[in-house]
């Protein structure tokens, strides 16, 4: 029992000792696109974003179709889906960026912005996902990513206004309502 307590304590200490994020806004980040080019998130200022960790071999992979429909329907109103491939859950995204891009474009005709594969949980979690999931930077809807296709809705000012579990499909009325409210 004391060994378990010690492990939990050490785990908490490791997380507590992470350096504070230097980024104070989602717009302070620069990410790699799936093609390897740098993308400054400030390019999305004034836009509504749905940030999604994605995977090609997951039971939720068909959500790509719904995400593309959302992007197509609302992109002219300043809405973007941003896809971040991650291999953190069940090794369900084992491919290279080039393989992921080909899969998404041929299987689901994805045209929304896709980014280079990153870690969204654990010790190697990318700072961008730390920003999305930590209470200090996301006080209203911070929570750890539990599986592939978790979603974070970001308003035009860069505030994270909601997060949605994998089971919330892109055509879910509550998600669509939140997107439409954020666009207005």
Q: Which residues are catalytic?
A: 58
In the chain, how long is the greatest CA-to-CA distance?
57
**CB half-sphere exposure, 101, CA atoms < 13 A:** 12
Residue 163 β-bridge partners: 152
Residue 168, classified by CB atoms within 10 Å of its CB into exposed (0-12), middle (13-18) or buried (19+), is middle
Using DSSP's 3-state secondary structure scheme, residue 19 falls into coil
Residue holding tokens 């750890």? 144
Distance of CA 11 to the CA centre of its chain: 24
Q: Tokens 């974070």 appear where?
A: 152
**Gyration radius (Cα) of the chain, Å:** 17
């Amino acid at each position: 029992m004391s060994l378990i307590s010690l492990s939990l304590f050490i785990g908490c200490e490791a997380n507590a000792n992470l350096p504070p994020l230097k980024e104070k806004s989602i717009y302070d980040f620069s990410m790699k696109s799936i093609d390897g080019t740098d993308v400054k998130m400030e390019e999305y200022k004034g836009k509504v974003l749905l940030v999604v960790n994605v995977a090609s071999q997951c039971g939720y992979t068909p959500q790509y179709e719904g995400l593309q429909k959302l992007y197509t329907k609302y992109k002219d109103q300043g809405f973007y889906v941003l896809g971040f491939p991650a291999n953190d859950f069940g090794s369900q995204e084992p491919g290279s960026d080039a393989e992921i891009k080909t899969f998404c474009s041929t299987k689901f005709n994805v045209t929304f912005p896709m980014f280079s594969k990153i870690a969204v949980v654990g010790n190697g979690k990318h700072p961008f996902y730390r920003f999305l999931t930590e209470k200090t930077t996301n006080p209203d809807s911070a929570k750890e990513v539990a599986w592939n296709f978790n979603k974070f809705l970001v308003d035009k000012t860069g505030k994270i206004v909601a997060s949605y579990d994998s089971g919330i499909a892109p055509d879910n009325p509550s998600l669509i309502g939140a997107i439409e409210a954020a666009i207005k």
